Structure 1
């Protein structure tokens, strides 16, 4: 029986495990195993909502072990720390309890086919002090850590009788930084409903720092201009052309040696593939440490290893790299699933062709803007407001359907709406 290992349970990895479980695992043609260092899945574009408290991982997360049992694959909890491509096995780190007791010893897993979908982490560009003083939003545990600190600050500032504001500085004017800034104003306004009477959006001051000339540099200027205007109306101070040279306990030091004071600091200035991939010395990498792949999404020089998602370095014919987005991971997972099946049947493998369907930026409950790419003309259509919000939500619904199926996906939508009607709109713990 073929052994297929998928390392990384993000958008692409989980969708692939679900698909292969249905096509190969259910019939006993292959043993599908998903490996992840976390025990549950949250769609990465929603991590800013986890950080703000708008989304509760306890009710909105997908438990890997339970999902695996229903979809005919297996789950292994563990973090990838080694790979022997010659002997075809991976090595997983030991697992310890919160008290430091050994729970599961370091172990190896063999494979016939390996799929790397390990995602990306924040790129601090080796800026001094960032790793010590900043919050990151690469995973649900990191987002929850930020949320706990945020709620503690809400409690502290709600008890103060003066007009001092809670200062939060966010470095990175991409989608994560922009969406987090808007979401924080939303939850600050909600806090007053839940006993924090001294807290409000007026007691929150957010600085959004972008090193380049414009926020959302990967999107059309019209979208960036619309978002900048909305953020300014909320009260966000957008600081473009502002490079950060260091982070301290008091705040960020800018390139012109100015201190931007902040009680909380978030680093969301770009991503890279985790450093241990480079340390393996196995793969060819680009400057973001993404693994270079063939047109069929196999790691160059590795016949038995596929790569997808943020860690995949795929250069298109026009020279541009496929961006690290959820839609990229979804498309790659679909092709890798097809190619694994085609390879089993000794059929020619398909080449990957990226289709950009546009980008959307959700400014919490205030606005949503973006562009959709026309399939027929290739032109971009600007959308905003309720239509953009509907399309934005639909992207998440498509992900839910991909991992749960149509019927259960729709049932989950109904359950979510019921939960939102009865539970607090802000996670308070």
Structure 2
């Protein structure tokens, strides 16, 4: 049953505003202030951020550090209790990274940085009363833990990320695994280890048996390529953790790409280098191969080829979640919310969107800003500046995307990428140790963004220690 009261600043509840009039949105975005009929002394300014991914978590940290709780109430809403950096999910899936060591608990983080956290899933937006509704939450037994309720906002930021795009291919939802969340990565790792154990036992019973773990990965972008390499890194270490007769030769990985080459975002030379490295590891790379149907442990391609696999991972692209198109905001065909140059939605000046769920096409560009972690980080900075400017009645800033390039990690084997794409009039190719150092630095910058300099530096040092003292694989 839905709770009809509205959570206001400080956690108390007040009756929901009942006016059906349109929200007081000034024509000039710079003039946005408090809602009509309210005085700044009446209540705190409430800023609600939905989504605790890289951009959303960095934003609430900066807002909490800037405003505190005296005159402002910063609220983060997320359906999960903790954050894990999405570019690391392929390592969690392969068992190379223990998410328990790298995750960030929202409750502890909010206490440190002066914002509040509510667990829940966005169910709707009422722009007339400036409230969002959260769906009820249930435990594993189906019992209601948190009733559906509403939260008012003066400013709302949507940063809910993206989900895998199955492009309507039959059977994908039922027979493929996505890597959109930690739960999905954990599920894949559990199934992977079970298959490895099965093969190891079969080889011990019959050393001449040709048993293999067959894995098919659809999509040769960053996620698919990095996962393929990480799987061979993990397979090589399993012999040290109880699977004495298991090694890389027992792994059969097929990487499928509908386009003409893998890693289309990188220069062709680097794409070729990555493909060569994967082939050397043992990955079967198939380009110009379109999957038209997924069946139980089988993929069917447009050429009629049938590819069998114990595990199928779908990493062919991303889109916005379906519910984004049902919020009353203008979206594109991929369910991404359309925003202007200020990161405000084209529908409502008081609602911002950032990261993978936002669609912004710069003036003169042919396509939206790509869904990358660096874009979410830059958008979060612009949204922070514009909320501050809006509260002060100043003109809002225009978002300018600075393409820092792309880096792809092939686990411990290699790293390739291009840097400073829009700064040098092209791309600066990097490989090897330098590329690996820069790739690692990106995660360190993420730590600084969500934890600040002091704790961020400490976590970096702890991470170095963990690499030495902790097991190299998570096997549970």
Q: Does residue 1:16 correspond to 2:55, yes or no? A: no
Q: What is the TM-score with the length of structure 1 in the denominator?
A: 0.98
Equivalence for 1:242: 289
Q: Secondary structure at the match of 1:160?
A: helix
Map 1:369-380 to 2 at 5 A. Answer: 369-373=416-420, 377-380=424-427
For residues 24 and 108 of structure 1, the distance between their equivalents in structure 2, rounded to whole angstroms, comes to: 23
Q: Which moved more, 1:129-138 or 1:248-257?
A: 248-257
User: Which residue of 232, 237, 249 maps to 1:202?
Assistant: 249
State how 1:203-222 maps to structure 2 within 5 Å. Answer: 203-222=250-269
Equivalences for residues 8-157 of structure 1 within 5 A: 8-26=51-69, 28-157=70-199
Corresponding position of 2:333: 287
| 1:205-238 Cα shifts (integer Å, max 9, x gaps) | 1000001111111222122111111100000000
Structure 1 distance, partners of 2:147, 2:405, is 44
Query: What's the offset of the Cα at 1:25?
Result: 2.3
Task: Report which stretch shifted further, 416-425 or 334-343.
Answer: 416-425
Task: List aligned pairs for 1:393-408, cutoff 5 A.
Answer: 393-408=440-455
Provide the C-alpha distance between the structure 2 equivalents of 1:223 and 1:274, rounded to a whole number of angstroms.
Answer: 32
**Structure 2 residue corresponding to 1:308, chosen from 354, 358, 363:** 354
Cα distance in structure 1, aligned partners of 2:268 and 2:50: 37
Aligned partner of 1:326 in structure 2 is 373
Is structure 2 residue 196 aligned with structure 1 residue 160? no
1:294 is paired with a residue of what secondary structure?
coil
Distance 1:192 1:100, change over 3 A: same
- Number of residue-to-residue matches in the alignment: 427
Q: Deviations over 1:236-292 (max 9, x none)?
A: 000000000111113101112221000000000000000111123x12222222111
* Greater Rg by CA: 2
**Distance change (3 Å), C-alpha of 1:376 and 1:176:** closer
Report whether the alignment pairs 1:418 with 2:439.
no
| Cα shift at 1:168 | 0.0
**For 2:399 and 2:354, how far apart are their aligned partners in 1?**
11
Contact 2:123 2:133 in 1 (8 A): yes
In the alignment, does 2:289 pair up with 1:230? Answer: no
* Secondary structure in structure 2 of the residue aligned to 1:393: helix
Q: Is the contact made by 2:297 and 2:312 (CA closer than 8 Å) also made in structure 1?
A: no
Contact 1:157–1:198, Cα closer than 8 Å, also in 2: no
**Structure 2: any 5+ residue segments left out of the alignment?**
1-43, 204-208
Q: In the alignment, is residue 174 of structure 1 matched against residue 221 of structure 2?
A: yes
User: CA separation of 1:275/1:376 partners in 2, compared to 1, >3 Å: closer, same or farther?
Assistant: closer
| Residues 143-187 of structure 1: per-residue CA shift (max 9 Å, x gap) | 111111111111111111212211000000100000000000000
* Aligned position for 1:269: 316
Whether the 8 Å CA contact 2:175–2:297 is kept in 1: the answer is no
TM-score by length of 2: 0.88
In 2: Cα distance, 1:336 partner to 1:231 partner: 39
> 2 CA distance for matches of 1:137 and 1:376?
32
Map 1:360-375 to 2 at 5 A.
360-373=407-420
- CA-to-aligned-CA distance 1:122-159 (integer Å, 9 cap, x gap): 00011111101111000111111111111111111111
State the shift of 1:414 in Å.
1.0
Q: Is the 8 A contact 1:15 1:402 kept in 2?
A: yes
- Supply the distance in 2 between the matched residues of 1:376 and 1:38 (Cα, whole angstroms): 38
Distance 2:305 2:279 in 1: 22
Mapped contact 2:297–2:311 kept (Cα < 8 A): no
Could you say what secondary structure the match of 1:159 adopts?
A: helix
Distance in 2 between residues matched to 1:221 and 1:81, nearest whole Å: 43
Give the superposed CA RMSD: 1.1
Shift of 1:59: 1.1
Distance in 1 (CA, whole Å) between partners of 2:305 and 2:427 is: 40
